[in-house]
Amino acid sequence: MPESLIKLDGVTKVFLTDEIETHALSGINLDIKQGEYVSIAGPSGCGKSTLLSILGLLDSPTDGSYVLNGRPVQGLSLPERARIRNREIGFIFQSFNLIGDLTVYENVELPLTYRGMPAAERKAAATGALEKVGMAHRAKHLPSQLSGGQQQRVAVARALAGKPAVLLADEPTGNLDSKNGDSVMLLLRELHKVGATIVMVTHDARFARHADRTIHIFDGRVVQEQVESDPTR
């Protein structure tokens, strides 16, 4: 039985604006094992992106506990969270979030630079990640010279390069046409087949079916968990 990689227990998130309390998450319990491919689905505004932000240590829960890779992380300081984020988590965003002034190679290498990795190791890791996503031949290009699908592949390479414990994808196909969307989903599925743990937020049921398990969220609560008997593969 694979070990728990992510364990949330009674996680809530309340946003305070003026005097209004918004309950974005209300008592979320979640257990994600190593090597799982999980999708988080739900309508717009249901709290799925807030949940992904908490899973990615970009935000902290108002209440509840979060254990990542055996370590409680809900009460860590900002620098400690940044350090864990850099080492344990790979992000794939809807709008790619590549740095326009850096080349493809430099974008992939940048998180490794912040980690203090020696130059030779950085080169091997960045080149290896670009080869995995089939973008090594574009290493010297700028993001603006690539199509949306290619930019997302580079973003996947950036997320992969540091060998994170988990890949978090927030609507990775949201800004792509169906052909490029399918190609990115295929890439994620291939990465999962070779052992990557993936948590993906999506509101597209077609893409949610690519995962082993889909967690449906509504009004900040888990309303249904669905194990795919035959994930699209």
Partner 1 sequence: MMNDLRFALRMLAKSPGFTAAAIGILALGIGTGRIVSSLLYQVGALDPIAFTVAPLVLAAATLFACWLPARRATRISPLTALRTE
| Gap between the Cα atoms of 186 and 33, Å rounded | 21
d(CA 158, CA 108): 4
User: Is residue 58 involved in binding partner 1 (CB under 8 A)?
Assistant: yes
CB of 1 to partner 1, least distance (A): 34
Task: By CB under 8 A, name the one of 101, 121, 131, 225 that touches partner 1.
Answer: 101
Closest distance of CB 109 from partner 1, Å: 8
Binding mask 119-148 for partner 1 (x = CB under 8 A): x-----------------------------
22 binds partner 1 (CB under 8 A): no
C-alpha to C-alpha distance for 103 and 6, rounded to whole angstroms: 33
Show the site string, 186-215: x = touches partner 1 by CB under 8 A, - = not.
Answer: ------------------------------
**Minimum separation from the CB atom of position 2 to partner 1 (A):** 29
Instruction: Based on the shown chain and the rule CB under 8 A, indicate whether residue 225 belongs to the binding site for partner 1.
Output: no
Q: Which of 22, 29, 95, 178 touches partner 1 (CB under 8 A)?
A: 95
Which of 26, 35, 59, 83 touches partner 1 (CB under 8 A)? 59
For partner 1, which stretch binds (CB under 8 A), given 91-99, 157-165, 191-199, 200-208? 91-99
Q: Does 53 bind partner 1 (CB under 8 A)?
A: yes
The 3-class SS string of the chain reads CCCEEEEEEEEEEEEEECCEEEEEEEEEEEEEECCCEEEEECCCCCCHHHHHHHHCCCCCCCEEEEEECCEECCCCCHHHHHHHHHHHEEEECCCCCCCCCCCHHHHHHHHHHHCCCCHHHHHHHHHHHHHHCCCHHHCCCCHHHCCHHHHHHHHHHHHHHCCCCEEEEECCCCCCCHHHHHHHHHHHHHHHHCCCCEEEEECCHHHHCCCCEEEEEECCEEEEEEECCCCCC
> Of 36-44, 64-72, 89-97, 145-153, which part binds partner 1 (CB under 8 A)?
89-97
102 binds partner 1 (CB under 8 A): yes
Footprint of partner 1 (CB under 8 A): 53, 58-59, 82, 85, 93, 95, 97, 101-102, 106, 113, 119
